[in-house]
Amino acid sequence: MSQNKNGLSRRDVLKLSGLVAGSAAFNGAAATTAPASEGAPPTHQPFAYKGPAQPEPMPTGDDFLNHYRKRWTWDYTKRSTHFNNCAYQAHCAFEVYVRDGKVIREEQAATYTTLRKGLPDANPRGCQKGCGYSHLMQGEARLTRPLKRKGERGGGEWEEISWEQAIGEIAEKTVDILAREGSNSLVMDMGTTAEIGVTTFGAAMQFADATDCVLLDLNTEVGDDMQGAAITYGTIIGARTSDDVFHSDLVLCWSGNPAFTQIPNFHYLTEARYRGTQFVVISPDYNATAMHADHWVPVRSGTDTALALAICKIVIDEGLHDQDLLREQTDMPVLVRLDNKRYLRESDLKRDGSEEQLYFWDEGRNRLQELDTTSLRLNGHRPALEGVFEVETLDGLVKVQPVFERLKALVAAYTPEAASELCGTPPAIIRKLAHMIGKARAACNVESFALGKYHHGDLMMRAQILVFVLCGHLGRKGAGWTTGAAIVYPDALGRDVARRRTRKLTKKLNMRQWYELIRNNFQEKPMSRYAKRGLEDSWVDAKVSACATLFWNVHGGVSQVSNQPWDKTLPRAPEAYLEEALAKGWQGLEPPRDHTPKVFFQVGGNVLRRVRSSHKLLEVLWPKLELVVVTDMRMSSTVHHADYFLPVSGFYEKPNAGFYSGSMINAYAAQPVVPALGESRDEWEIYWMLANEIQKRAIARGLEGFIDRHQEKRRFDEFLGVYTMNGALGRNDVEKLCRQLIEKSSNLGGVKWEEISQRGYAPITSLGKSSNDSATDWKADETITPFIWHTRDKLPWNTLSGRIQFYIDHPWYLELGEELPAFKAPLKAGGDYPLMLNSGHARWSIHALQQSDSLMLRLQRGEPCLYMGVEDAKRRGIKDWDRVEVFNDVGRFRVRVKISPAIAPGMLMHYHAFEDYQYEGGVGSRVVMASPINPVELAGGSPYLQTPGHMRQPGMSDRDTRVEVRRL
């Protein structure tokens, strides 16, 4: 057996990584015992299975009592938290107990105060991942020394090296590539397992600033972009606090499974039920949330649009819609030409007329009226919702009609009976649900990122929003369909971090946009609609971030799978839409096609676990890469194929401050509780060392600079200065970085670093200077409800019409029949197979971070498993816990089956985030996911449809994957 220079064998290093104890101990099927199937992807067994770890003998008698008593003794406690990327619940304060320099346990702090009488408090906040974090941090899976690959990538051969060697070799290669090929050859991914704390984010962003590398924007790739809201509301930020459900009499969980994904917030739903709120779950499976509901509404996976349109028809037919709200807040009165289906514009009426001036018909004055986009006030006008009118245009007399007329024509076909044939929901339940929503005093949804994982999730989301808005549920306490989780956050984040990277965003602003940007910032008001539009129009050229989906497809080879004709309804080949979008500058591809990526920095992420069809990355992208560096604390699927592994310190081992608030408005911060294990270091220090070494080596080699992505010259002797914000922060100044975020923020009530880090959190006290797309007021003793500025103050929305916009007249939307949220059947992505593979966020891990942790594995099946309905299993001769192969035209993987009556016929459920090495043969479930690009997500070139990053870019999907299953 090979030995490295430190005397460690391959087996020793693997033992250190804990992969055996963390996964194989619970996965007796990890060794490939069955013959490989014909056409199966290349399989490998990277980690030898050595049998389950043997536990120490349990003490008995007095020894047991003393052993138990010792668990309740400690040297000291400190307040801390976990800066996981856990979105809606970020974060929860914990009391951490330490004895002999080791964390012995953590408990929920439960010190949150009540806003006011009649509202529940936030206590206790926390989940099993937080309560077991010390096991991950100090357990068998933790890696604490730098590692360098030996042999082939993915071969499992590693050697321990010093930090000096690791940083020196990485810096030398980076200098080579930068000097020879420029910034376009460096790519960085901050993945979903990266912290949403400034220690990781600040380090990564400053290093990206110094290198000007391609920085991947993964929000659309993972499906968190909320495309339907992005084009309907003009934003994906518009959330309520979780306690706002106490003002609702009806709560719909329409997609998502908050019993799994929002554990710290879930008690608000059950407490609201005690208060009399009706809780309805609409889902294709009877999931863990459905068991807590008053009503469960079954719907076939991916057919929610048909259900929503049937509800809309009933609401309209029975006069349950709010006509006044539709006239004021939506585009329902806006006129559309019958001849070309486009909005009637001033350019239709006048030479040199505006393409952005739209019209409605004033039925009070019986004449055409310009649509005001500076205010939603009707000023005595009464926009018509129905009728057909004639207008004299440059082309002659043209018939026009309001959007509402077109909506009525669309929903006419969706009777409850007809919709039931499509979505599977019984007609009587559709009628009951429509009446519940239409007659509710205040109905709201439970926010979820699930719909973005469907190919037509944008249509499903637009249709859901339509249901709520039609019924008048908008912009008041407890009412409305709301979106993302970041309501407000410490507002100092953008003042210091990545300033050089964002400087070109403002270069295209005109004088009015500049004025409104500066004025609103000075007055601590949200960014104006017009100024925001200017930044959106500049985004692609400014190259602040790059669409990860396009990078994986073009440079990673995923297009070899995704561009297959999975959607038989497209009038053009899938790649034709991409080529047009790139040629017209609607979307940006970085690096350009003629530039090959050579260096890949993975900061806390795990792309080979995360990306759909990630096996193509190993086939196409990885051979191009001369250097792959991963910073993490454990062995992941991506680390397994890296060249260097750099160990980072855990949450309890470094200072940190959260830059993101979830659905409860607190800022979180923490100081180290215990010293970092082994040689692990915080990310700020790691990237400081790397930036410093790059500068030193470049200067020593007489290299002056490199060419950045804008084809401008950068100087190597300024490299470290860019990273350190011109020397403001040194190698060990991570606490200073965190302190800056807290103490420079105007909306934390002047709290000092020492106070917030000792308590673990502090309430956010105002909107501050952050751009508040939630468009709402701030009152310290009230729940937060979004969009009040629109409904009360008549502030326009960030759309072309200045209203909630359901009609999109972009040529591609018209070409594809999606100008309104029409129903489209789920694709057969992967081939014409009878079973739809569905997925969901795992209960036992924040993304992949804890998915191989032995403590979390004990709480579930211990290995990946596939949930299958009773009839589907019986038809295939499959019994509970059988080994099966899941396959389609793209690939195949092997897994155990759990038979469940909660799974509908024709559907499978496989929860996400398992590492490849936890599957038989090392082949994970993403190998069957074709993930075709939805063409409308490429659309641009129109006001308020351009991408501002994080939304209105193409994403990846997995919920439409079709497969078959056979017993092994």
| Structure confidence by residue, pLDDT tens digits, 926-956 | 999 999 999 999 999 998 999 999 999 999 9
Angle at Cα 898 formed by Cα 894 and Cα 903, nearest 5°?
Answer: 110
Q: For position 650, what pLDDT does the model report?
A: 96
Q: For position 28, what pLDDT does the model report?
A: 31
612 found inside a domain: yes
Give dist(CA 39, CA 416) in Å, integer: 44
User: How far out from the chain centre does Cα 579 lie?
Assistant: 26
Which tokens go with 902?
A: 């909660």
Q: For position 86, what pLDDT does the model report?
A: 84
| pTM for the predicted model, two decimal places | 0.93
Q: For position 25, what pLDDT does the model report?
A: 31
Strands 713-715 and 705-707: antiparallel
Q: By residue range, what is the domain housing residue 189?
A: 147-224+490-763
Give dist(CA 131, CA 107) in Å, integer: 6
Q: For position 362, what pLDDT does the model report?
A: 98
Q: What percent of the chain has pLDDT over 90?
A: 78
- Enter the DSSP assignment of 932: P
Nearest to 287 by CA among 735, 874, 903, 905: 903
Give dist(CA 434, CA 658) in Å, integer: 41
Give dist(CA 64, CA 58) in Å, integer: 8
User: Using 50, 70 and 90 to split pLDDT, how confident is the model at 66?
Assistant: confident
CATH number at residue 623: 3.40.50.740
718 found inside a domain: yes
Torsion-angle region of 366 (φ positive above 0: left; ψ -120 to 50: alpha; else: beta)? left
811 found inside a domain: no
Question: Contact, 963 vs 932, CB < 8 A?
Answer: no
Give dist(CA 466, CA 329) in Å, integer: 12
Question: Contact, 112 vs 118, CB < 8 A?
Answer: no
376 found inside a domain: no
- What is the count of structural domains for the chain? 1
Give dist(CA 803, CA 328) in Å, integer: 8
Q: For position 503, what pLDDT does the model report?
A: 83
758 found inside a domain: yes
614 found inside a domain: yes
Identify the three-state secondary structure at position 620.
helix
> Which amino acid does the sequence have at 196?
I
Question: Contact, 156 vs 922, CB < 8 A?
Answer: no
Nearest to 220 by CA among 554, 540, 798, 611: 611
pLDDT, tens only, 856-915: 999 998 999 999 999 999 999 999 999 999 999 999 999 999 999 999 999 999 999 999
Give dist(CA 741, CA 722) in Å, integer: 18
Walk across the sheet containing 94-99 and list its strands: 76-80, 94-99, 102-108
- Residues paired with residue 358 on neighbouring β-strands, in sequence order: 345
Scan for tokens 């500076």, then name that residue.
374
pLDDT, tens only, 650-679: 999 999 998 877 788 889 999 999 999 999
pLDDT, tens only, 25-59: 323 333 333 333 444 444 444 433 333 445 567 77
Q: For position 495, what pLDDT does the model report?
A: 66
Alpha-helix runs per DSSP H in 792-940: 811-815, 854-857, 870-875
670 found inside a domain: yes
Question: Contact, 632 vs 650, CB < 8 A?
Answer: no
755 found inside a domain: yes
**Residues ≥6 apart with Cβ < 8 Å to 437:** 250, 252, 311, 315, 443, 467, 468, 471, 473
Strands 961-967 and 907-909: unpaired
User: Using 50, 70 and 90 to split pLDDT, how confident is the model at 489?
Assistant: confident
